[in-house]
Amino acid sequence: MRRVTGVDANGRPIRPPWKVLVASLVVVAATAYVIASSMQGAMVYALTIPELAARGKAACGQTLRVQGTLDGTSVVYDPARPWLAFELRDGSHSLRVEYMGARPGLLRDGAQVIVEGKLRLDSVFEAQTVLLKCPSRYESGGSAREAGAERR
């Protein structure tokens, strides 16, 4: 005996549209898979330098974001390539960073730096992006006139 969900205007029984339901489920599953796989490639773990050190070699090859304080004495820049190398510190931990690109203008000793890239097997962080947090002088509640006087 067939299951009938109703009767149409001509008196014929209406059956569930199984083909439409199955096709819809396939489309939903495929869409969910595409979204999940694209998001997985865009995910970046944000770690401190001690957390990165704790992961050890397991962190190699993963795209990571690391923040630390710049050691100004470690900065080496070759404008001909352009190539930049420096060390970030977080307490007693340090991280050697290499970056192919222009030297950021605010790269000074004690600056808070965020790097995004991958840790190599030789424990050097190969950065694709170098970001600097704004210095605290821009965050003060002073007027625009005071800020202009500081720049002179």
Q: What is the mean pLDDT of residues 27-33?
A: 89
Question: Tell me, which fold does domain 45-137 have in CATH?
Answer: OB fold (Dihydrolipoamide Acetyltransferase, E2P) (2.40.50)
Both tokens assigned to 120: 């190599």
pLDDT 10s digits, 60-118: 888 889 999 999 899 999 999 999 999 999 988 999 999 999 888 888 888 899 999 99
Across the chain, what does the average pLDDT equal? 81
Q: Which residues of 2-24 are buried (b: 16+ CB within 10 A; e: fewer)?
A: eeeeeeeeeeeeeeeeeeeeeee
Tell me where in the chain the CATH 2.40.50.140 domain(s) lie: 45-137
Query: In the chain, how long is the greatest CA-to-CA distance?
Result: 91
